[in-house]
Structure 1
């Protein structure tokens, strides 16, 4: 199997799933597609395409140099008050 971009594939392997990132959210229409609103990737695409976007499918962003993964904070469990 030949990889198209081995550096991106290595980055994808080292990056946790997009569902754990604060920049990701599920598509409101079907609830299956994960969208990414990483500012670095949006800036890059807006500069190169000269169009305005709000988000992208996360699989297009994950593993690129513009992917800025940030872990979501853990959810508070019932009865756990801080």
Structure 2
């Protein structure tokens, strides 16, 4: 997903300065799909979605989360087996 820097300058700046979802602790990867599809399991964004839409999700599409104020990037640690 491409964010327009003219329509959404803050979100574009956050996307440019945040590392890729591949390096995030909250990201999940679905190898069954042909393209690279990352999901986000960040509790902040899941809680926000629960409150606003009334629907509970286990994960959301990472491209819709990255660059928003709820994106809480945490790098994967070396000893993590997740």
TM-score normalised to structure 2 length: 0.82
Secondary structure at the residue paired with 1:35? strand
- The alignment covers a number of residue pairs equal to 75
Aligned mates of 1:74, 1:4 — CA distance in 2? 38
Find the counterpart in structure 1 of residue 53 from structure 2.
49
Secondary structure at the residue paired with 1:69? coil
Q: Deviation digits for residues 34-79 of structure 1, max 9, x if unmatched?
A: 111111111111100011111011110000000010000136xxxx
Q: How does 1:37-76 map to 2 (within 5 A)?
A: 37-74=41-78
Q: Could you say which structure has the larger radius of gyration?
A: 1
TM-score normalised to structure 1 length: 0.82
Unaligned runs of 5+ in 2: none
Unaligned runs of 5+ in 1: 76-82
Q: Following TM superposition, by how much is the alpha carbon of 1:2 offset from its aligned partner in structure 2, in angstroms?
A: 5.8
Instruction: Could you list the structure 1 runs, at least 4 aligned residues long, displaced by more than 3 angstroms after superposition.
Output: none
